[in-house]
Amino acid sequence: MFKTIALAVDGSDHAAKAVPLASELARMANGKVVVLHVREHDLQRGQVWELETEEEAQSLVKKTCAEIEKNDAVAEGYVIRTVHGTVAQALVDSARDHKTDAIVMGSRGLTDVAGMVLGSVSHKVIHLSDKPVVIAR
């Protein structure tokens, strides 16, 4: 049984579909959900460009934790900061650091078109993770 579940969120509708699934899995196992949001930044011309603010990222994580707790499950949330294009590896590394038993995520995130061309984050996580990955469709 999955006692500690990593839940990847990015604010998309697909990620929102994964929240009830992760909540239910944690509730059934009397476990917890570790909410993970990756905050990307890009390096151009010697400057760092943030793709979202810290406040936006923290707000998303807090809102998701509140929704999980409303479903009678335990939640803790983290914002991870990484270079643009390394979201999948950051999620897998963080899930490992938090000693989670599985990763739950949506089938597509905010970058649907890029995901079809380059391979979605969920697809990359499936290949990088040594833990089970549950995709909410």
Q: State how many domains the chain has.
A: 1
Token reading at 105: 């995520």
* CA–CA distance, 65 with 63 (Å, rounded to integer): 6
Rounded-to-integer distance, Cα 37 and Cα 7, Å: 8
> Minimal CA–CA distance to 128: which of 82, 95, 84?
95
Residue 52 tokens, joined: 């979202």
pLDDT digits (tens, 9 = 90+) for 6-17: 999 999 998 999
pLDDT digits (tens, 9 = 90+) for 100-119: 999 999 986 555 444 444 44
- Write out the residue range of the structural domain in which residue 28 sits: 4-136
> What band does 84 get if pLDDT is binned at 50, 70 and 90?
confident
pLDDT in tens, 26-50: 999 999 999 999 999 887 777 777 8
Looking up residue 30, the CATH number of its domain turns out to be 3.40.50.620
